[in-house]
């Protein structure tokens, strides 16, 4: 490559000052000696400096329409959180009902395996842990509620019936499995559990529920974010979950309880996270609850994830 | 990141719109100009610039401080713009073909050139229009690097980091983009060559 070729090849970097001092000097020397390269340099230099002067002013009203959009974005985030909150409250009302009905049918249909079956309700919920370990304390398990249909079902469902259809709920005192969707054509209120389903649910994965009592919820959330970041390998959605909670918390009502939902890609990472949480917060209770077959029809890709629910309560 | 910026980011994370607006105050014009050069029209530019800023607001919790806030914001802007262009790629292709055929610019410039003694400002504005139009004729990829380099004033390294490619690639891409720009401009106008001669005479090549 002769000097002119070399020079023209590197004019662009020369103009930007993106080369070593020696290289800069070399080009500079050549431009002094070579008219044709100097001419090319001037053309390119003019173009580049014009490019950098192309910046235009913001259109009128840009800031005010932006402000409107930001407010809407903020409102959407809060509304989303509120919507989730409403489902939550309702689900707890429905919980008692679901517990009784589901457990009853689960036992009748042999769901808990060997010891408990024969269509008789043996000893209520306390007999369940043989097959699936139960949570201590007020654990909450989400699952897909069986569809209730037919008038006969109405009698036993009472006030809660309306909400039972197609919604996802939580039950208190973890019921291991809600089972499959019942056959809607049946007017009798029956739920079929398949053999296969019963086997898989005995190897149930665990969700974890962590209750933390703190003085300052805002600070606690920040610490949890920091831990989430430190542990790494969390799903990207954790940030969204956390943001969502924080915005709801700082937004309309400053409540004394905040719930966070986190997802980790493996149990190992999850354990690591819990360990960090335990060392960061003195007043912490960790419960493992069996993960129910929840409403994963919509969320299949998350079926393999480990969920952690964190409840932060303000110290009274 | 200075302390004020850090504080504003924290407040923005908690949903404080005013803090966020202060945070982006000095960057929004550049955001708009990125969008303007990418989309080539004001309406889309305003829409996309605001899309980008709103997206930054709703996902500011994901900002980890690995880069400066402005770089992060520009990266979002560029992503919003490239998504938009990809979706409209067919339309863009057609307009580029038309652009290559149309000679309106050239004629307009030649007519004005014949007018007696245009003042320097007008000349400069013509030059800007010429460069701007030429830039609009470049490929999206080439336009993108020139926006980063000459409008955002980012270093090769910063551009490389933003686009996730190596510095050498950026260097040669900028070189090729400028060569393309120059070619289009030289084809379109003699005014430009006159300007360069004058410019040289005045020693304006500092």
Q: A190 touching B, CB under 8 A?
A: no
Asked if the Cβ–Cβ distance from A46 to B15 is below 8 Å, we say: no
d(CA B72, CA B64): 10
* Domains detected in chain B: 1-87 (1.10.1740.10), 102-206 (1.10.10.10)
Q: A9 touching B, CB under 8 A?
A: yes
The tens place of each residue's pLDDT in chain A, 316 residues long, gives 688 999 999 999 999 999 999 999 999 999 999 999 999 999 899 999 999 888 899 999 999 999 999 999 988 877 876 777 666 666 666 666 656 566 666 666 665 554 444 444 444 444 444 444 444 444 444 444 444 444 444 344 444 444 344 333 333 333 333 333 444 443 434 344 433 333 333 344 556 778 888 887 777 877 887 787 777 655 555 666 666 666 666 654 556 777 777 777 677 777 788 888 888 887 777 776 654 444 433 344 334 456 677 888 777 6
Q: Angle CA(A95)–CA(A99)–CA(A100) in degrees, nearest 5?
A: 125
Asked if the Cβ–Cβ distance from B15 to A247 is below 8 Å, we say: yes
**Minimal Cα distance from B57: which residue of A?**
A70
ipTM for this model: 0.75
The CA-atom distances, in angstroms, between B87 and each of B46, B75, B81, B93, B147 are 18, 18, 10, 12, 20
- Give the single-character DSSP code of B151: I
C-alpha closest to that of A254 among A225, A216, A210: A216
d(CA A139, CA A290): 10
On the question of pLDDT at B129 being above 50, the answer is yes
C-alpha closest to that of B51 among B78, B25, B69, B17: B78
| A window 65-94, beta carbon within 8 A of B | 65-67, 69-71, 73-74, 77
d(CA A225, CA A164): 35
Per-residue confidence band for B67, with pLDDT thresholds at 50, 70 and 90: confident
The alpha carbon of residue B5 is apart from the nearest alpha carbon of chain A, in Å, by 18
Please list every residue in chain A whose beta carbon sits closer than 8 Å to the beta carbon of residue B28.
58, 62-63, 66
C-alpha closest to that of B122 among B203, A56, B130: B130
Question: Which residues fall within 8 angstroms of residue A29, CB to CB, at 6 or more apart?
Answer: none
More confident residue, B134 or A277: B134
**Cβ atoms within 10 Å, residue A100:** 16
Q: A242 touching B, CB under 8 A?
A: yes
A206-214: strand order across its sheet: A257-264, A306-314, A206-214, A284-290
On the question of pLDDT at B18 being above 50, the answer is yes
Pairing of strands A306-314, A206-214: parallel
For an interface test with A, the pick among B150, B153, B201 (most A C-beta atoms closer than 10 Å) comes out as B150
pTM comes to 0.51
Q: How many Cα atoms occupy the beta-carbon half-sphere of B75 within 13 Å?
A: 16
Q: How far is CA B69 from the centre of its chain?
A: 18
d(CA A117, CA A108): 6
C-alpha closest to that of B130 among B184, B178, B180, B176: B184
**Minimal Cα distance from B203: which residue of A?**
A42
pLDDT of the residue at B144: 92
Render pLDDT for B99-108 as a digit per residue (tens, 0 to 9): 444 444 443 3
CB A227 within 8 A of CB A238: no
Q: A253 touching B, CB under 8 A?
A: no
């Amino acid at each position: 490559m002769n000097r002119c070729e070399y020079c023209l090849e590197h004019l662009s970097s020369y103009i930007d000052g993106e080369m070593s001092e020696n290289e800069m000097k070399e080009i500079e020397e050549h431009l002094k000696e070579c008219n044709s390269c100097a001419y090319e340099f001037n053309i390119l230099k003019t173009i580049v400096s014009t490019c950098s002067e192309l910046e235009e002013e913001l259109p009128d009203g840009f800031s005010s329409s932006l402000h409107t959009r930001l407010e809407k974005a903020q409102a959407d985030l809060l509304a989303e959180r509120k919507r989730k909150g409403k489902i939550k409250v309702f689900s707890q009302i429905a919980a008692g009902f679901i517990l009784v009905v589901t457990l009853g049918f689960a036992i009748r249909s042999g769901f808990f395996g060997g010891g408990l079956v024969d269509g008789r309700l043996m000893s209520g919920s306390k007999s369940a842990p043989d097959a699936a370990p139960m949570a201590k304390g007020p654990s909450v398990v989400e699952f897909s509620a069986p569809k209730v249909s037919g008038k006969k079902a109405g009698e036993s469902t009472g006030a809660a019936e309306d909400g039972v259809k197609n919604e996802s709920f939580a039950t208190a005192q973890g019921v291991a499995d809600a089972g499959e969707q019942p056959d809607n054509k049946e007017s009798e209120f029956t739920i079929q559990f398949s053999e296969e389903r019963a086997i898989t649910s005995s190897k149930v994965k665990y969700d974890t529920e962590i209750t933390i009592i703190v003085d300052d919820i805002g600070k606690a959330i920040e610490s949890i974010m920091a831990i989430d970041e430190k542990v790494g390998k969390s799903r990207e959605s954790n940030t969204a979950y956390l943001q969502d909670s924080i915005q709801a918390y700082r937004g309309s009502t400053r409540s004394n309880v905040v719930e966070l939902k986190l997802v980790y890609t493996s149990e190992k990472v999850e354990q690591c996270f819990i360990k960090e949480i335990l060392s960061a917060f003195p007043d912490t209770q960790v419960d493992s609850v069996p993960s129910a077959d929840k409403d994963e029809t919509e969320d299949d890709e998350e079926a393999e994830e480990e969920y952690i629910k964190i409840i932060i309560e303000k110290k009274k | 990141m200075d302390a004020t910026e850090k504080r504003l980011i924290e407040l923005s994370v908690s949903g404080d719109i005013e803090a966020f607006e202060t945070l982006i105050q000095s960057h929004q014009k550049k955001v708009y100009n990125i969008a303007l050069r990418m989309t080539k029209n004001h309406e889309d530019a305003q829409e996309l610039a605001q899309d980008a800023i709103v997206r930054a607001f709703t996902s500011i919790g994901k900002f980890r401080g690995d880069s400066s806030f402005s770089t992060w914001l520009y990266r979002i802007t560029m992503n919003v713009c490239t998504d938009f262009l990809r979706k409209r790629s067919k339309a863009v292709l057609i307009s580029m073909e038309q652009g290559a055929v149309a000679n309106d610019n050239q004629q307009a410039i030649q007519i004005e050139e014949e007018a007696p003694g245009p003042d320097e400002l007008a000349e400069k504005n013509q030059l800007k229009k010429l460069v701007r139009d030429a830039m609009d004729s470049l490929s999206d990829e080439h336009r993108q690097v020139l926006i980063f380099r000459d409008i955002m004033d980012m270093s090769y390294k910063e551009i490389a980091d933003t686009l996730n490619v190596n510095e050498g690639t950026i260097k040669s891409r900028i070189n090729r983009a400028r060569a393309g720009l120059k070619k289009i401009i030289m084809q379109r106008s003699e005014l430009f060559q006159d300007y360069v001669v004058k410019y040289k005479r005045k020693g304006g090549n500092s």
